[in-house]
Structure 1
Amino acid sequence: MTSADLLVDGFGRIKENVHGALAGLTQEELGVRIDGTANSIAWLIWHLTRVQDDHVADVAGIEQVWTAAGWAKRFELPFDEAAHGYGHSSADVAELAGVPAELLLGYFDAVHDQTIEYVSKLTDADLPRIVDTRWDPPVTLGVRLISVIDDDAQHSGQAALLRGILLRRR
């Protein structure tokens, strides 16, 4: 198994988690905030997808799916196109309440496909490349990609927990 195989597997598990978290939920359930100001499933999935899109496009030197494929226009959110949810207010989170699962999954799947296309071609020699000098130590490609997988796993897990709570309330 190569490093590329591990990355493909890791991102593939995120896809399974995201699809599982959204399966069979209503549009209303996707926007539920269990304590009134908590993140909703819709926001969590949008956010993890935006971060993956932003970070992978940056290290790959390509345009984000969000803008290149018109997803920003389809979502019609009142945010700057560069927004990916970091630092969002409670009111910002509420903007995702009406987003249907099909739109979230369409965008996620497009980002996933672009991610897999990129990471499947990586070699071990690519991973030590410095991609971000704003940190000490500077961030390598390998660390950045694992960071994205970790962030996605945490947020998809949060979405799965919320899904479980919502299903118990039915």
Structure 2
Amino acid sequence: MTVTAFRPRPEPAEVARVTATAAELLEVLWGRASTAPASASQLRVLLILEHHEGINLRTLADSLASTPPSTSRLCDRLEAAGFVRRVMSPADRREVRLHLSGRGRAFLADLRTRRESTLETVLELMPAAQRTALLEGLEAFCDAAAAQIHDEAEGPGSRTA
């Protein structure tokens, strides 16, 4: 029996602290790889659009906790860079739908490739058993986070017991 078999179950607060530290370290590692020509806030828009293709400006502004005019200016710059396309809604011509362009998708794919390469370098330093445990833990975390995001998007009372 290993020593870890006697380790008490970690409390969520302890795991949250370590996870936050890991996220900060990732920011430092990934900060070495430029996100140019997109700023951090523009990158966030691209990631939101990737997961919510065709959302309107107001929904995007709400997701960013920003105002529609500020979000519109952000999208103006992304459209000028060729990362975003604006399309009139077929249902309401006053509504504009936002779509990630092919160039925007290529930018995100390239950024992910560079970030994954950085991660691989770090992960190679870990023993295989710890990489396996990390993978299992991160998969469970992603599932839980996605469920929470989905539940929040559905609104209060959407979850059934």
Q: TM-score, structure 2 length as denominator?
A: 0.31
Higher RCO (CA < 8 A, seq sep 6+): 1
Pair member with larger Rg: 2
Q: TM-score, structure 1 length as denominator?
A: 0.30
